[in-house]
Structure 1
Amino acid sequence: MGKVSHPVDDAASEVAGTLLPGAGPIAGWISSGLREEWQRLTSRALKAAESISGRSREDLEELLEQDPALMPLYMRVLWAAGMNGHDETLRAMGAVLGEAARASASGESDSVHDADQALMAMSTLTPRHFRVLRYVCTHPMRGARGKSGWIAKHVADALGLTEDRAAWCLSDLLGTGLIGSRNGAFGDPFYWATELGEAVVQASASLDDT
């Protein structure tokens, strides 16, 4: 009897083959050191997905196989594990994948589409972006979420960044849905962490403890 093919395994093999054209099955696609690092990063992402979705790894993989809308999201995470390589980026993407899995199980299709857009934007985030996100999450401005929040200059001063770099990071994070924004009375945008942004930071912190 032939080996049973599973969509989750097939997705991993497909991404591996795309990253290195001509590669065979995932178990032998690159040198052992690079393969182990890719698998480690993928595992970190899936742990965050488990934490946010409230599902075990087996239940999560079953849901990925059953819902065709989730498989492209999983493949985005696999691709980022090979191309981005930043631990915290992969944790954040895993958290978004977990939120999409939770939304899928609840029949919230719009939230799944939101997650797909967020993952596309998140694949280029760097550790600097997460320094900014963590700061905004752990130092919330009183009356934030629409009435006030952080401006780029204050974030820059707090983290030792130039104002341009802080504004750049905040703008990138805004595009992922991890941060919200509105224009202030004097023209400077206010920024605050969204619920998804707070969930991402919480998932990342919980993985630091494991």
Structure 2
Amino acid sequence: MTREEMADAIAADPRLVPLLQRLLFAAGMNGYDPPLAAMGEALGRALDDDGALDESTLLIQVLDGITPVHVQALELLESPAPGRTAENHVVWTNGNLLRKSVSPHLMEMALAGLVARGLVITPNIVGDADNTVGYDLTELGRAVLEVVRRHLDQRNT
């Protein structure tokens, strides 16, 4: 769509105004291009398809504030994990995630943000003595990682 076509589509459907405002605010607050490009893609879907407005709104909310540290955490969670639960399921734990990170403090904050966004779950406590928490990607987390990677790949080519 051209700018004029986008302006006409937004003027024709006032429900799109808050979505555009959120995207513009996120663009002003976060300079990390891959999630911003994905947010723009979500806005484009909402402009093209009235039925995509709710999904696009939720996707923009999830992507808002995603940083390279969040992406690093998602990529670690996608890779084979060194920890095991009592049921012998392989999981990432807060301990081994923090050891893999350049900054454990930043990784802790990123994990909390990913859990709050629904991109990561904490399905169980792995160790009772030290309250070791297990982490796992959700399907939404995998989808967000895929979208961010696609935009990273486009930027690098």
In structure 2, runs of 5+ residues without a counterpart are: none
Residues 183/167 of structure 1: CA separation in 2 closer, same or farther (3 Å cut):
farther
For these two proteins, the number of residue pairs brought into alignment is 143
TM-score by length of 1: 0.51
In the alignment, is residue 151 of structure 1 matched against residue 149 of structure 2?
no
- Please list the CA deviations of residues 139-172 of structure 1 after superposition, one character each: whole Å capped at 9, or x if unmatched: 155999xx7632222112223332x332221001
Give the one of 112, 134, 156 matched to 1:171.
Answer: 112
Percent identical among aligned pairs is 27
In the alignment, is residue 126 of structure 1 matched against residue 72 of structure 2?
no
1:90 aligned partner: 36
- State how far apart, in whole Å, the 2-side matches of 1:104 and 1:143 are: 45
Partner SS for 1:150: strand
Residues 93/204 of structure 1: CA separation in 2 closer, same or farther (3 Å cut):
same
Shift, 1:82, TM fit: 1.8
1:196 aligned partner: 140
Give the one of 96, 115, 122 matched to 1:181.
Answer: 122
- State how far apart, in whole Å, the 1-side matches of 2:92 and 2:26 are: 29
Matches within 5 A, 1:1-210: 8-9=6-7, 68-94=14-40, 97=42, 101=46, 105=51, 115=58, 119=61, 122-137=63-78, 139=79, 141=81, 149-162=91-104, 164-186=105-127, 187-210=131-154
Residues 91/200 of structure 1: CA separation in 2 closer, same or farther (3 Å cut):
farther
TM-score by length of 2: 0.65
Partner SS for 2:123: strand
Tell me which protein shows more strand as a share of its residues: 2
- State how far apart, in whole Å, the 1-side matches of 2:90 and 2:68 are: 26
Letter in 2 for 1:171: A
CA contact (8 A) 1:91 1:203 kept: no
- Please list the CA deviations of residues 151-194 of structure 1 after superposition, one character each: whole Å capped at 9, or x if unmatched: 222112223332x3322210011112222223314232222222
Shift, 1:112, TM fit: 6.0
- State how far apart, in whole Å, the 1-side matches of 2:15 and 2:138 are: 24
Letter in 1 for 2:120: I
CA contact (8 A) 2:125 2:134 kept: yes
CA contact (8 A) 1:129 1:173 kept: yes
Residues 208/125 of structure 1: CA separation in 2 closer, same or farther (3 Å cut):
closer
Letter in 2 for 1:73: L
CA contact (8 A) 2:75 2:145 kept: yes
In structure 1, runs of 5+ residues without a counterpart are: 11-61
C-alpha RMSD over aligned residues: 3.9
Letter in 1 for 2:101: L
- Please list the CA deviations of residues 104-124 of structure 1 after superposition, one character each: whole Å capped at 9, or x if unmatched: 6279x5x566x17x61x6433
- State how far apart, in whole Å, the 1-side matches of 2:73 and 2:98 are: 9
